[in-house]
Amino acid sequence: MFAVSLCSLWYSLLILAHFTYLLIGAVIFQILEREAESNNRNHFQLEKLHFLANYTCLDGPALEKFVQVILYAWEKGVNPSGNSTNPSNWDFSSSFFFAGTVVTTIGYGNLSPSTVSGQVFCVFYALCGIPLNLAFLKQMGKCLTIHLGRLETGMRFCFLSQKAVEALAVSLFFITGSLLFLVIPPLLFSYVEGWTFGEAFYFAFITLSTIGFGDYVVGEKAAAVASVYLKLPGLTLLHKSARCWKIKVRCELRQTHLTRSYMFLLKGTDPGKEYISLYRCLAGIWIIFALAWLALILNMGVRIMENLVILTHP
């Protein structure tokens, strides 16, 4: 009983430390990256308008140049489709999600710091965050083991056979864990993101092995869906301003002002935003618990292997 309460104390302290660390990271990354992002975004919008103004009848090299511009924007973290009223990459929930991918070393890379200060902070953040996350997962694994032990003790009263109870508890733990962490979340993701179940499972595996290619990232599609609401009027604006450009060539200041005021008008109304935050939080919780469960399963595997080695070489 004492072990359990001590474990809970340590555990709640670690949870507190971990989440505070993530919160702090989220805020600082947001502060560091947001302005550079908005500059890049405006710059890309101007490039687009330049392009429309200059190449009314475009040819091969012009097209190549434009492709280069789009890829550059993409590398700088600007979503080149739509207009500059797209939701920011570095809003709080995304920044929090990013901090989570740093400390777990998943590192999807769909977001990454582009400013020097952001990169420097990222290095120090990871230096402290990765050990903290490992300690957190270890402690969580210990607590899960203790709960498993209690489950075993509870079952022993009913069945009385030690070996059978242990095997049953472990397999119960394994099966419920698999369902909770490897079957139900991919089903949910495939439903929300429009992936096949195979793709969703692949995403789950790549995430929980901490490989994190970033070819599938949870919440990206949802963000795109939300930005559709903003897209149609945005397109009309882009279209209009392009025409304005063609008539009054090089009225850059006016255009920037127009975009800014349009952004201001839209600022209050971000449909689907809260829903995405909630969804991403759920995904984050899934990652943490599933990683702890996985570490435990791997530990058990190692223990079973060692027992087998001892049994075969007495």
Binding segment for K ion among 33-41, 71-79, 156-164, 210-218 (CB under 5 A)? 210-218
Q: Minimal distance in Å, beta carbon 208 to a second copy?
A: 10
Measured in residues, the chain has a length of 314
CB of 108 to a second copy, least distance (A): 7
Least distance (Å) from a second copy to the CB of residue 60? 4
d(CA 231, CA 233): 6
Shortest distance, CB of residue 241 to a second copy, whole angstroms? 8
Region of 109 on the Ramachandran plot (φ > 0 left; ψ -120 to 50 alpha; else beta)? left
70 binds, among K ion, a second copy, none (CB under 5 to 8 A by kind): a second copy
Closer to K ion by Cβ: residue 44 or 125: 125
Minimum distance of a second copy from residue 314's CB (angstroms): 22
Count other C-beta atoms under 10 Å from residue 242's C-beta: 15
77 — phi, psi (to 5°)? 85, 15
Q: Rule CB under 8 A: which of 231-270 touch a second copy?
A: 235, 238-239, 242
Between 38 and 105, whose beta carbon lies closer to K ion?
105
- All residues at 6 or more sequence positions from 25 whose CB lies less than 8 Å from its CB, including other chains: 95, 96, 99, 102, 103, 125, 129
Q: Taking each helix axis from N to C terminus, what angle separates 2-54 and 92-103, rounded to the nearest 10 degrees? A: 120
Q: Which tokens is 194 given?
A: 């429009």
Q: For residues 103 and 276, which CB has a smaller minimum distance to a second copy in the complex? A: 103
Minimum gap (Å) between residue 24 Cβ and K ion: 22
Alpha-carbon span 256 to 48, nearest angstrom = 12
Site for a second copy, residues 98 to 117, rule: CB under 8 A? 101-102, 105-109, 112, 114, 116
Binding mask 95-124 toward K ion (x if CB under 5 A, else -) reads ------------x-----------------
Q: Which of 40, 126, 242 is nearest to 234 (CA)?
A: 242
Tell me if 177 contacts K ion by CB under 5 A: no
Residue 72 beta carbon to a second copy: minimum distance, rounded to whole angstroms: 10
Sequence-distant (6+) residues with CB within 8 A of 229 are 271, 272
First-to-final CA distance of the chain: 35
Total residues interacting with K ion, rule: CB under 5 A: 2
Sign of the C-alpha dihedral computed for residues 30, 36, 42 and 43 taken in this order? negative
The residue within the footprint of K ion, chosen from 113, 212, 219, 234 (CB under 5 A), is 212
DSSP string covering 128-157, please? HHHHHHHHHHHHHHHHHHHHHHHHHHHHHH
Nearer to a second copy, 56 or 312 (CB): 56
> Least distance to a second copy from the beta carbon of 191, Å?
19
- Go through 150-164 and write b for each residue having 16 or more CB atoms within 10 A of its CB, e for each that does not: ebbeebeeeeeeeee
Interaction of residue 197 with a second copy, rule CB under 8 A: no
Where do contacts with K ion occur on this chain (CB under 5 A)?
107, 212
Where do contacts with a second copy occur on this chain (CB under 8 A)?
48, 51-52, 55-61, 63-64, 67-68, 70-71, 74-75, 80-82, 101-102, 105-109, 112, 114, 116, 119-120, 122-123, 126, 130, 198-199, 202, 205-206, 209-215, 235, 238-239, 242
